[in-house]
């Protein structure tokens, strides 16, 4: 019986995926028997690092790691916001404004700060951006502020606050139009492990489906459309473009810009892992990119569960040199992606010129780029 090359390759990947699961189970049992020794671990992140619930909240350990990094810019929120007073949080939020006009306010939000407030018990009592709207409204002499474009707590970058319900309606229409026309209005700067294997600098599209896998809700790349899933809201068509800005081949790491029309459902992480260049700090989707004798290959999202990110030895050593505390249980690497640009068309009116908003990278992000030998001349 003859088998095609593709059939043999798929069978090999399935077998290898099962072998990886058995290997991790064996490693876990070994750790239980002999203790958690550094030489037994091939990863510089602990299990708590950057853990995220299905609702998209980040763990307390992820926040504590970022708050330990020095040289944060003064116009950023205090990332250790549990220890800050409401007045201090509001002052920091006010200083983080990067744009304001008659319709919207743009804030540069750091990682670890929630926009709408966290439901996680570990973050109970933490300040959220929505809690500061009334005071911001008083300072800016603008009534009825409301969140226009949000961002999960484990991301940093631009969020939009609308000045009234009419402005909110205009923004919603502009974003829906952009999504329907496949306009890549949202751009992220990402540190990726590896070089993306997709065509670079080219407009691409893919179907992303939301499924319940490995005891959590996750996103999966689909090659074909499913009208039933589209109508039920569990599948979307994402239009995106990936551009590599800088690469350190010795460490196996890159600075990448990803522009996309819809960024919900962890779509950027899903796409980059699918193209064998997972986001640094991603412990949810990075396990889909595995290595065989140093060569990356794609595994099935249904076969390999989420696990703490495994890094090339040289990159792991470089990160430990950057911050020796990365291997400590109480600290973790933040998700290295930042929403740095929003390009709005037909806002606030259909005949309006395009509005381009940008937000600088956090200083700890820039510091890490320099340490990893990635060129920052493209970062504004």
User: CB burial class (10 A; 0-12, 13-18, 19+) of residue 364?
Assistant: buried
178, 261 in Cβ contact below 8 A? yes
Helix (H) or strand (E) holding 158, with range, is: strand 156-163
User: The pTM is what?
Assistant: 0.77
Q: What is the pLDDT of residue 325?
A: 65
Alpha carbon separation from 357 to 94, 159, 187, 211, 343 (Å, rounded) = 17, 10, 10, 33, 6
- What single-letter DSSP state applies at residue 142? -
Instruction: Give residue-wise pLDDT tens across range 311-363.
Output: 888 998 999 888 876 645 334 678 899 999 999 999 999 999 999 999 999 88
The alpha carbon torsion through 295, 298, 304, 309 (nearest 10 deg) reads: 60
**Which residue is associated with the tokens 């091939």?**
42
Nearest-angstrom CA–CA distance, 217 and 231:
19
**Which residue is associated with the tokens 């980059």?**
272
Q: Measuring CA to CA, which residue among 160, 157, 168, 142 is closest to residue 106?
A: 160
Q: What is the pLDDT of residue 77?
A: 41
- CATH fold of 42-371 reads Pseudouridine synthase (3.30.2350)
Q: What is the pLDDT of residue 3?
A: 53
Q: What is the pLDDT of residue 12?
A: 52
- Ranges of H-type helices in the chain: 5-34, 60-67, 86-95, 133-140, 165-180, 227-232, 267-274, 313-322, 363-371
**Which residue is associated with the tokens 């399935």?**
14
Nearest-angstrom CA–CA distance, 274 and 98:
33
Q: For the chain, which ranges sit under pLDDT 50?
A: 5, 18-83, 121-122, 327, 329-331
Degrees (nearest 5) of the Cα angle 170, 171, 175? Answer: 120
Q: Measuring CA to CA, which residue among 78, 159, 77, 75 is closest to residue 116?
A: 159
What's the token pair of residue 366? 């820039």
What's the token pair of residue 12? 């090999």
Q: What is the pLDDT of residue 132?
A: 86
Which 3 state secondary structure label does DSSP give 188?
strand
| DSSP states of 185-246 | -EEEEEEEES---SPTTS-EEEEEEEEEETTEEEEEEESS--HHHHHHTSEEEEEEEEEEEE
Alpha carbon separation from 285 to 184, 186, 265, 307, 310 (Å, rounded) = 22, 21, 12, 8, 11
Residues whose CB falls within 8 Å of the CB of residue 250, separated by 6 or more in sequence, listed in order: 314, 373
Alpha carbon separation from 299 to 14, 19, 189, 275, 279 (Å, rounded) = 7, 12, 25, 11, 16
Nearest-angstrom CA–CA distance, 15 and 297:
13
Tell me the HSE value of 51 on the side-chain side, using a 13 A CA sphere: 15
Q: What is the pLDDT of residue 199?
A: 94
Which residues are 344's β-sheet partners?
Answer: 355
What's the token pair of residue 128? 């959220």
What's the token pair of residue 307? 């696990």
């Amino acid at each position: 019986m003859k088998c095609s090359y593709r059939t043999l390759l798929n069978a090999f990947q399935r077998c290898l995926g099962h072998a990886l699961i058995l290997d991790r189970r064996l490693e876990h049992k070994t750790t239980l028997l002999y203790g958690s020794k550094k030489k037994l671990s091939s990863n510089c992140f602990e299990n708590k690092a950057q853990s995220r619930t299905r609702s998209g909240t980040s763990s307390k350990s992820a926040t504590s790691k970022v708050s330990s990094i020095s040289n944060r810019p003064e116009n950023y929120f205090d990332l250790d916001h549990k220890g800050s007073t409401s007045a201090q949080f509001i002052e920091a939020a006010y200083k983080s404004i990067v744009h304001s006009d008659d319709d919207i306010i743009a804030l540069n939000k750091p990682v670890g700060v929630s926009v709408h407030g966290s439901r996680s018990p570990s973050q109970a009592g933490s300040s959220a951006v929505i809690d500061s709207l009334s005071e911001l409204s008083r300072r800016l002499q603008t009534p009825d502020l409301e969140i226009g474009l949000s961002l999960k707590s484990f991301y940093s970058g631009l969020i939009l606050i609308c000045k009234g319900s009419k402005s909110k309606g205009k923004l919603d229409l502009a974003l829906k139009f952009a999504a329907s026309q496949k306009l890549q209005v949202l751009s992220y700067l990402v540190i990726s492990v590896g070089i993306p294997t997709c065509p670079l600098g080219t407009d691409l599209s893919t179907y992303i489906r939301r499924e319940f896998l490995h005891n959590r809700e996750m996103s999966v790349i689909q090659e074909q459309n499913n009208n039933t899933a589209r109508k039920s809201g569990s599948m979307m068509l994402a239009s995106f473009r990936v551009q590599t800005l800088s690469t350190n081949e010795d460490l196996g790491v890159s600075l990448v810009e990803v522009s996309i029309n819809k960024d919900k459902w962890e779509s950027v992480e899903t796409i980059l892992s699918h193209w064998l260049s997972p986001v640094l700090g991603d412990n949810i989707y990075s396990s889909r990119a595995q290595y065989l004798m140093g060569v990356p290959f794609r595994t099935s999202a249904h076969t390999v569960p989420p696990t703490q990110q495994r890094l090339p030895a040289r990159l792991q050593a470089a990160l430990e040199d950057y911050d020796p505390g990365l291997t400590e249980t109480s600290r973790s690497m933040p998700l290295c992606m930042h929403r740095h640009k929003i390009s709005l068309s037909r806002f606030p009116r259909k005949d309006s010129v395009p509005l381009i908003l940008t937000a600088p990278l956090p200083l700890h992000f820039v510091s890490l780029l320099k340490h990893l030998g990635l060129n920052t001349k493209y970062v504004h």
